Amino acid sequence: MQKSILISGGSRGIGKAIADLFLQLDYQVFAPSSKDLDTRVVDSIEHYIKNNINDLSVLVVNAGIFHSAKLENYQIEDFENTIDVNLTGAFRLIKSCYPLLQKNTDHKNIILISSVSASGELYAPAYAASKAGLEAMAKSLALELASENIRVNCIAPGWVKTDMALDILKTEEQIKNNLGATLTGDWVYPQEIAAMVKYLVSAEARSITGQVFTIDAGLGA
């Protein structure tokens, strides 16, 4: 049977790189945009699954948004929306996909895309909190789902060269300062995150679950 993978936020950036790689690996790939699968709305998630997916081997939780503002200007609505998309939305998606993963008799995997911002991000408390929450959720679900042969891991990228990152680092000086803080002095590329997903869902990684893997060009070294 052909293996299948669902990647939320799969139409661009990291999600698209994962989708492209798994197409090469002969997976059936589902990579909806946020318009096709809105993690804020259970009905949107379940409608997409019902109309597209009968079997699921791998779930990659990648959809996310970023909001930045000083505390005095940070609106409660922006905080709540960021948490809703990045963290609560991740749980909605996992819960909706759980029955499909249960049905699959092969090795089954959930991969959550976190961020090095989980340890704190200037002017981005909701984003940092949501990413820290993803890492804690991955560890909690790994404990619960191990008996069902479902492995759960988390990848925490640093500065990945995506449209989102380029929206944050708007000037050459900002790019130089932030990449200069890494050991390699360079971007992480989406294909590197995709390669880690490939490894984590492989038979070679069968003993790995409940872990967070940092790919940050040496930012935290």
Domain spans in the chain, listed from the N-terminal domain onward = 4-160+189-215
For the ranges 29-33, 69-73, 182-186, the lowest mean pLDDT is seen at 182-186
- pLDDT for res 134: 98
The per-residue pLDDT of the chain, averaged, comes to 93
pTM, full prediction? 0.94
For the chain, what percent of residues have pLDDT higher than 70?
100
pLDDT of amino acid 221:
63
Instruction: Name residues whose C-beta falls within 8 Å of residue 189's C-beta, 6 or more positions apart in sequence.
Output: 17, 160, 161
Q: Cα Rg for the chain, rounded, in angstroms?
A: 17
Q: What is the pLDDT of residue 106?
A: 78
pLDDT at 53 over 80: yes
Q: Is the dihedral of CA 75, 81, 86, 92 positive or negative?
A: positive
Q: Is the pLDDT of residue 209 over 90?
A: yes
Averaged pLDDT, 28-42: 95
Alpha-carbon separation of residue 121 from 1, 26, 86, 88 (angstroms)? 43, 38, 15, 20
32-49 average pLDDT score: 96
**CATH class of the domain whose range is 4-160+189-215:** alpha beta
Token couple for 195 = 């390669």
Of 185 and 7, the structure prediction assigns the larger pLDDT to: 7
